[in-house]
Structure 1
Amino acid sequence: MNEPVDASPGSSSGRRIPAGWVSSQPRAERARQVADVLRYQITAGKFADGALPDERSLGEQLGASRNAVREALDLLRFEGLIIRRRGVGTRVVLPKYGHGLDRLAGLAEAMTGYGEITNQVRSARRVTELPVPIAERLEVDPSAGGVYLERLRWLDGLPLSLDTTYLTADVGCGVLDGDLAGRDVFTLLEETTGHLLGSAEVTVHAVTADPDTAALLQIPDHAAVFALERLTRLSDGRPVDAESIRIRADRMALTATLHRGHVQP
């Protein structure tokens, strides 16, 4: 079956386009498909210098009309991924960094090679009473108390995430004595307990940033952020670390490699 030929104004004569991207599609749908491809390229770091090719070149690479490319770029600009300036071209606003969800790693460990991670310790204190929902997650009595940490994480001088952490009292007090400004909590936990971390249950959802969080992360009020809730256990299965992390969605992409197990017929 022959593929349709793009005969839109400004297109290269005889240039073939993917069969699904035909002119009978609604224009918004064609633009969205192009935007999806470009978004993947941006988050995967395909534009190393931050500059995107011009509209004509993108159209040739993607097999799309210039109109579709132009509208796709407008979508990505609205999402805050790119900026477009006359005489300068189209550029990625900020690089997105991949953080794998298929391996238990602290932020500094996960971002190795991307830049320098620094931590602003906003709170590090013992608490005599844990919030009941936190105590239930950590499988301790609320009156057992614990340790509360709040850190603003920076990557190469720009805020990346706001992390709040509750630790059980027996391990948290040792973590308080560690270098919270310079090291991951995961590393401090393993050194304090003498045991490796074993597993974590993670839930990720999208929320709008409250004004205080937005100010700390230097993003507009009500901008979208990743909300990551994580309960981390030692290798013996004991929960020791309950975290709530707000991550700038414009700076990080959460990734995972998934394997399909045997499916019973």
Structure 2
Amino acid sequence: MEPPDRRPRAERARQIADVLRQRITAGAFDSGPLPDERTLVAQVGATRNAVREALALLRAEGLVERRQGVGTLVVQPKYGHGLDRLAGLAEALDGHGEIVNEVRAARILAPPPAIAERLALAPGEPVVHLERLRRLGGRPLSLDTTYLTADIGVPLLGHDLAGRDLFALIEETSGRRLGRAEVVVHAVSAGPDTAALLEIPPGTAVFALDRLTHLDDGRPVDVESLHVRADRLTLRATLHRGSA
């Protein structure tokens, strides 16, 4: 017989919430409500009070909601975006709905020195600056700020920036293949302007992705800063262990 679990209930609830969150983001409950409390108690091996606290944590995150006579439902699906392949958002979310880009800026300018340095440009050398609010299913998903070297970016200005991924357009217009990208992911609090555009309360946690993309010859051509609604997207990768 196993000894009783003497951990604080708040700790058990947190760990149960982690398990349920993983199942939700994996799509386990897309077709209907979560199992009832009695079933969840049996599945996770916890008390009903701990399960109730775990569900309360998920409700506070905005991940689930309780509906009278129905049960606990996933509020909205989270879409998975893999980090182990260089792909545009529309490519990564193919089959989940139409991605529409609201182009808020598309211009040629002299970049900030830090951007010029990352793109290996001389000071004052022009770049193409794009800002796009990206929607999935009509709802905001991310706010993307992009700086492109002029030879790559200028040809894009005459193309469908509202309906196409930049990566595909870059390869089409340049005749070159993209090679690799370095990506850094932060968790940040959305400021008032970003929050208003993404239609979330100010201070809400969002993913901030910094990405530097290179052509297949190694030349850096694309610096991006993406603010992504963390309640709508999960970041996934398949990692292989190799030599240190």
TM range (shorter): over 0.9
3-state SS, counterpart of residue 159 of structure 1? strand
State whether structure 2 residue 234 is matched by structure 1 residue 253: yes
- Identity level (%): 68
State whether structure 2 residue 111 is matched by structure 1 residue 112: no
The range that moved more, 101-110 or 111-120, is 111-120
State whether structure 2 residue 2 is matched by structure 1 residue 3: yes
1:139, CA displacement in angstroms? 0.5
Paired residues in the alignment total 244
Q: Which residue of 1 aligns with 2:149?
A: 168
Q: Does structure 1 conserve the Cα–Cα contact (< 8 Å) formed by 2:33 and 2:70?
A: no
Q: Which residue of 1 aligns with 2:218?
A: 237
**What TM-score do you get using the length of structure 1 for normalisation?**
0.89
Cα distance in 2 for residues equivalent to 1:235 and 1:40: 35
Q: Deviations over 1:159-212 (max 9, x none)?
A: 100001000111110111111011000011111211110000000000000111
Cα distance in 2 for residues equivalent to 1:74 and 1:40: 16
One of 34, 48, 55 as aligned partner of 1:52: 34
Q: Which residue of 2 aligns with 1:33?
A: 15
1:89, CA displacement in angstroms? 1.7
Amino acid in the other structure paired with 1:177: G
One of 173, 186, 209 as aligned partner of 1:205: 186
Q: Once superposed, which parts of structure 1, at least 4 consecutive aligned residues long, lie more than 3 Å away?
A: none
Q: Does structure 1 conserve the Cα–Cα contact (< 8 Å) formed by 2:30 and 2:74?
A: no
Q: Which residue of 2 aligns with 1:182?
A: 163
One of 53, 63, 68 as aligned partner of 1:81: 63
Q: Deviations over 1:211-235 (max 9, x none)?
A: 1111111111110000000000000
CA RMSD of aligned residues (A): 1.1
3-state SS, counterpart of residue 31 of structure 2? coil
State whether structure 2 residue 225 is matched by structure 1 residue 226: no
Q: How does 1:136-147 map to 2 (within 5 A)?
A: 136-147=117-128
1:105, CA displacement in angstroms? 0.1
Larger relative contact order (CA 8 Å, sep ≥ 6):
2
Q: Does structure 2 conserve the Cα–Cα contact (< 8 Å) formed by 1:197 and 1:234?
A: yes
Q: Which residue of 2 aligns with 1:262?
A: 243
Q: Does structure 2 conserve the Cα–Cα contact (< 8 Å) formed by 1:50 and 1:95?
A: no
Q: Does structure 2 conserve the Cα–Cα contact (< 8 Å) formed by 1:229 and 1:245?
A: yes
One of 196, 215, 238 as aligned partner of 2:196: 215
1:50, CA displacement in angstroms? 4.7
Q: Which residue of 2 aligns with 1:194?
A: 175
The range that moved more, 197-206 or 185-194, is 185-194
**What TM-score do you get using the length of structure 2 for normalisation?**
0.97
3-state SS, counterpart of residue 56 of structure 1? helix
3-state SS, counterpart of residue 124 of structure 2? helix
Task: Extract unaligned runs of 5+ from structure 2.
Answer: none
Larger Rg: 1
Q: Does structure 2 conserve the Cα–Cα contact (< 8 Å) formed by 1:100 and 1:255?
A: yes
Q: Which residue of 2 aligns with 1:148?
A: 129
1:57, CA displacement in angstroms? 1.4
1:262, CA displacement in angstroms? 2.7
3-state SS, counterpart of residue 142 of structure 1? coil
Q: Which residue of 2 aligns with 1:92?
A: 74
Cα distance in 2 for residues equivalent to 1:32 and 1:83: 17
Task: Extract unaligned runs of 5+ from structure 1.
Answer: 5-21
Cα distance in 2 for residues equivalent to 1:206 and 1:72: 23
Amino acid in the other structure paired with 1:121: V
3-state SS, counterpart of residue 15 of structure 2? helix
Q: Deviations over 1:55-96 (max 9, x none)?
A: 111112222211111000011111111112332321111100
Amino acid in the other structure paired with 1:166: Y
